[in-house]
Amino acid sequence: MPRSMRALVALEAGEPTDVLRLESRPVPTPKAGQALIRVKATPVHASDLHVLRGRYGFSPEFPAVGGYMECVGHIETLGPDTEGLKAGERVVAAAIPAVPGPPVAGTWQEYLVADARRLLPVPDHLNDSTACQLAVNPLTALLLVTRELDAQAGEWLLQTAAGSTVGRLVIQLCRHLGIRTINVVRRRSAVEEITALGGDEAICTEDEDLMQRVAEIAGPAGVRKAVDCVAGPVGAQVSQALAPGGELVVYGALSTHRQTDPAALTIPLQARSVIYETKTVRGFWLNRWFGTASPEIALHALARVRDLVADEVLSIPQGRPFPLERFAEAVALAEAPAHGTKPLFVFEDARDEDDG
């Protein structure tokens, strides 16, 4: 009899709470080059919900196990050709979509098989909440600031949704590297936290004019570097606040979530400003980067963020644990305004459990 496990499965594309079901599925068997991971914790990112709604950059074949980004777990067994890893080791598995396809396996299940070349061992002192969020947001922050924008000490970096997990990591990383941040938030109550994290300046769109404040802080020319994950009119204002020759990297579109009006899905750029001030507005998508980077380069970058977190340069806010059964609450929390903490699906530790 094959062993069975619990998995949170989307029967079809749709509103997550409508299409998700808790199912029993056989525990998979790792093939050559693969490891079987017993999942301990895995986050619910807004992007996971976007995938289920059929509004993300890839679509799985339904029915599909949910969770497309990352998890932490113990290696239960290894297939052939998996040198360098040991059964029992605690590892991070980042979602690895074969661009343009979906990742190998959903993470919202008790066991999954993963490419052994992409597993990152994590030290014991990083708890499961931190470890299961190590790949996506910290790596995005690192790649945006260093690889995409090559921001330098002393430069200004303007960012939106600065209170998001990515935003908080950008603040901490920039502080470490000597880059000065201008942090845009939509709630006055978020400003204190931004300052406490080491953000140099904060702009609250609730009661301040973004472009005017950027001009006051960085000078009338504006900033040379910016990242945006809000899009819509806020993204457009960020592009306006760029200095001539400036660069804006758009990596999210939070204001477009759940919107259906095509006009609400855009970033309305000023053509004259983009042309005559030779500004660059381009996208970044970690999944594409993962899909094109070699396993060695991806693992090397992941090891860098692991070390930044282990050395307490970067701190990832602790998530709120949920069992799979309470998926409706976890899904609601993931997108609730001012949710602060990230919902995580957690599973009992295999070593604490009586399997008999």
Ligand X SMILES: NC(=O)c1ccc[n+]([C@@H]2O[C@H](COP(=O)([O-])OP(=O)(O)OC[C@H]3O[C@@H](n4cnc5c(N)ncnc54)[C@H](OP(=O)(O)O)[C@@H]3O)[C@@H](O)[C@H]2O)c1
| Binding-site ranges for ligand X (CB under 6 A) | 45-47, 136-137, 140, 161, 163-166, 186-187, 190, 229-230, 251-252, 254-255, 284-286, 337-338, 342
* Closer Cβ to ligand X, 34 or 107, answer by number: 107
Smallest gap from Cβ 61 to ligand X, in A, equals: 22
In a 3-state reduction of DSSP, which class is residue 50? helix
Assign 3-class secondary structure to 223-236. EEEEEECCCHHHHH
* Closer Cβ to ligand X, 116 or 214, answer by number: 214
- Residue 278 CA to residue 295 CA, distance in Å, equals 35
Smallest gap from Cβ 85 to ligand X, in A, equals: 26
Q: What is the DSSP string of 95-139?
A: ----TTS--SS-SSBSEEEEEGGGEEE--TTS-HHHHTTSSHHHH
* Closer Cβ to ligand X, 6 or 175, answer by number: 175
Residues in Cβ contact with 336 at an 8 Å cutoff, skipping those fewer than 6 apart: none
Of the candidates 188, 285, 184, 192, the one whose C-alpha atom is nearest the C-alpha of residue 235 is 184
* Closer Cβ to ligand X, 68 or 347, answer by number: 68
* Closer Cβ to ligand X, 190 or 267, answer by number: 190
Residue nearest to ligand X (CB): 252
* Closer Cβ to ligand X, 7 or 144, answer by number: 144
Smallest gap from Cβ 45 to ligand X, in A, equals: 5
- Residue 1 CA to residue 24 CA, distance in Å, equals 14
* Closer Cβ to ligand X, 116 or 141, answer by number: 141
Smallest gap from Cβ 137 to ligand X, in A, equals: 5
Residues in Cβ contact with 147 at an 8 Å cutoff, skipping those fewer than 6 apart: none
Smallest gap from Cβ 25 to ligand X, in A, equals: 27
Smallest gap from Cβ 159 to ligand X, in A, equals: 11
In a 3-state reduction of DSSP, which class is residue 221? coil
Q: What is the DSSP string of 128-184?
A: HHHHTTSSHHHHHHHIIIIIIT---TT-EEEESSTTSHHHHHHHHHHHHHT-EEEEE
Smallest gap from Cβ 318 to ligand X, in A, equals: 12
Pairing of strands 70-78, 34-43: antiparallel
